Amino acid sequence: MSPSRWLPSLLLTAALPLLAHAEGPAYGPELQGFEYPYTVKHFAFQSQGKSLQMGYMDVAAHGKANGRSVVLMHGKNFCGATWDSSIKALSEAGYRVIAPDQIGFCTSSKPDNYQYSFQQLATNTQQLLKALGIQKATLLGHSTGGMLATRYALQYPEQVEQLALVNPIGLEDWKALGVPYRTVDQWYERELKVSADSIREYERSTYYAGHWKPEFDRWVDMLAGLSKGPGKTQVAWNSALIYDMIFTQPVYYEFKDLKVPTLLLIGTSDTTAIGKDIAPPAVKAKIGHYEVLGKQVAGLIPQSTLIEFPGLGHAPQMEEPAKFHQALLGWLSKYNPVRG
């Protein structure tokens, strides 16, 4: 039985010592040893017959509070910690900011057997927000977090004020476009071989159009350290299940059903597409073009606004934080909730 079964609902996480490793840091299965920019708390809850815990940061408004909350949803190769500059910018602008790590990721539980779906992750997050007393919030989802934020807004439209998507994946249905299916077992074998070098090269070529900034290395070490720590097989198996969820559960067909004001923040040099590495050349050539996908999906979403960042890649909030946050905060400020 996992020790997390006895953790109370809002327990501060205990930072375990960094595990020494000749080729860089190694972290515990819930990222023990990696430093987060703000205090990490844990929300304990039951799901699928398991006692789980979701790590999250809850950062109060710095200065004059505007009474609004923003929930940040991280990507597949990211964590709540990678939102550090966005948390600071939003907090300074008066927002309460909640940045959870989803189950299967980062500081949260890696269950042995879990049926992953975007609906389940949305339900988990909704339970967290309810426990925190948040009845309505703005969602900001990046990468895979964009798929999750979309699903959450479809599932709980009355609880969402605004929806902002940063280079979300799932702007196309890769399987319908001819990308071959990779089994969970194949994903697992692939994830067991992950290294800092392979992560860096993938992100450099796919996320950032061949460019790299030294500050990105911290996030590479975060992922690589999680993948080679004592929970390596646990981390790899959960990662494989999550990739299968991403590939087989598109939100693309439901963008037209979104009922909330939606902002697309798109770095146009991004070429991310799940399974592109095993796709036939003709298929590979036609997927992952964000300079086209952003415009196409903006046309599908009823109340959409598109802001493009020419020359930036998969994470404009990390590449050019000042430019990104100016655009985001300008759009968020246009919403004036009517409060009783």
Q: Give CA–CA dist 288/278, Å, rounded.
A: 14
337 belongs to a structural domain? no
Would you tell me how many other CB atoms lie within 10 Å of the CB of residue 119?
14
Q: Give CA–CA dist 171/249, Å, rounded.
A: 12
For the residues 113-129, what does the mean pLDDT come to?
97
209 belongs to a structural domain? yes
**How far, in Å, are 113, 127, 184 from residue 45 at the CA level?**
16, 8, 26
Range of the domain at 245: 3-332
How do residues 14-63 score in pLDDT, each as one tens digit? 333 343 334 689 999 999 999 999 999 999 999 999 999 999 999 999 97
Alpha helices (H) along 164-280: 184-192, 196-202, 217-227, 232-248
Q: Give CA–CA dist 180/232, Å, rounded.
A: 26
107 belongs to a structural domain? yes
Greatest extent of the chain over all pairs of C-alpha atoms, in Å: 58
Domain count, the chain: 1
Q: Give CA–CA dist 128/137, Å, rounded.
A: 12
The closest of 265, 239, 115 to 184, measured between CA atoms, is 239
How do residues 226-267 score in pLDDT, each as one tens digit? 999 999 999 999 999 999 999 999 999 999 999 999 999 999
23 belongs to a structural domain? yes
Q: Give CA–CA dist 121/75, Å, rounded.
A: 13
Of all residues in the chain, the percent with pLDDT exceeding 90 is 90
Residue type, 145: G
305 belongs to a structural domain? yes
Whether the per-residue pLDDT at 336 is higher than 80: the answer is no
**Beta partners for 158?**
none
Under 8 Å between Cβ of 27 and 229: yes
14 belongs to a structural domain? yes
Under 8 Å between Cβ of 71 and 100: yes
338 belongs to a structural domain? no
- The whole-number pLDDT of residue 335 equals 77
| Burial label, 121 (beta-carbon count in 10 A; 0-12, 13-18, 19+) | buried
19: CATH: 3.40.50.1820
Q: Give CA–CA dist 24/196, Å, rounded.
A: 9
**What pTM was estimated for this model as a whole?**
0.92
Which one-letter DSSP state was computed for residue 205?
Answer: I
- The whole-number pLDDT of residue 63 equals 77
Q: Which two tokens stand for residue 100?
A: 């959870």
339 belongs to a structural domain? no
What are the backbone angles phi and psi of residue 239, rounded to the nearest 5°? -60, -40
